[in-house]
Amino acid sequence: MNAHFREMNTQRLDQLAHTARAVGARMLAALALLPLLAACLPPGAAAQTVVKAVARAKPISETATPAPTAAPAPTTAPASTPTPAPTAAPAIRAQPVSLGTNGGEWQFDQATLELAAGEDIVLTFNNGAKTTAHNWLLVSGGDDVATEVNAAGMASGEGAGYIPDDTRIIARTAGLVKGGQSESVTFTAPAAGTYVYLCTFPGHFELGMKGVLTVK
């Protein structure tokens, strides 16, 4: 019997050895085939597979949504300061004075006038003649100054209204005032003293168309 068991053990060992050799041969064959399989793959295939796996985009549900940015608070503009309305200049209250002619006569209807020094005056000259034109001038002086201004007025001609350019004239009409018409002259009464007013239409002063202004 011992011999029979020894024979059986020997057979089993032979089978195991045969199986081990067969497995080893297959493993060696597989190892030998690996380089061949790697050579058959296209270049970068393995790397592309890895990159694709890594670069897979996250689902929309996994993407973090940035928090909304708060709108800046509105800046309150400073209240505008109302511009004060300009103060109206007080109206000048001028003293009205009326002066005319005695109809068609070459005379003023008032031979004398009296005013206060520094007073604002609005003198209205009314030519009461029907056709004859007149003017009115106030000069700084007496008859001597009036005579010189009258002569210069005649020389200046009708185009100038017989009114010369003379610094001794304090106030005057713009020119000749036709018969039946009026003109207002605004001026400030000069310093205290006596002054002559006249008409410089040729011949009128010589016939007495003059007067005296007294300023107090």
pLDDT by residue for the chain (216 residues), tens only, comes to 445 545 555 666 566 556 657 656 666 655 665 555 555 555 454 444 443 433 444 444 444 555 555 555 555 555 666 666 666 655 568 899 999 998 888 999 999 999 999 999 999 999 999 999 999 999 999 999 999 999 999 999 999 999 999 999 999 999 999 999 999 999 999 999 999 999 999 999 999 999 999 999
Q: Let me know if 149 is exposed, middle or buried by CB neighbors in 10 A (0-12, 13-18, 19+).
A: buried
pLDDT of residue 84: 61
pLDDT of residue 62: 47
Going by C-alpha positions, the residue among 209, 212, 213 that lies closest to residue 190 is 213
Going by C-alpha positions, the residue among 140, 142, 138 that lies closest to residue 200 is 138
| DSSP conformation letters of 79-106 | PPPPPPPPPPPPPP-PEEEEEEB-TTSS
pLDDT of residue 66: 54
3-state secondary structure 112-176: EEEECCCCEEEEEEECCCCCCCECCEEECCCHHHHHHHHHHHHHHCHHHCCCCCCCCEEEECCCC
pLDDT of residue 104: 81
Provide the token pair at 115: 């005013």
Cα–Cα dist 108/73, whole Å: 82
pLDDT of residue 93: 82
Query: Which pTM does this prediction carry?
Result: 0.58
C-beta separation of 196 from 139 below 8 A: yes
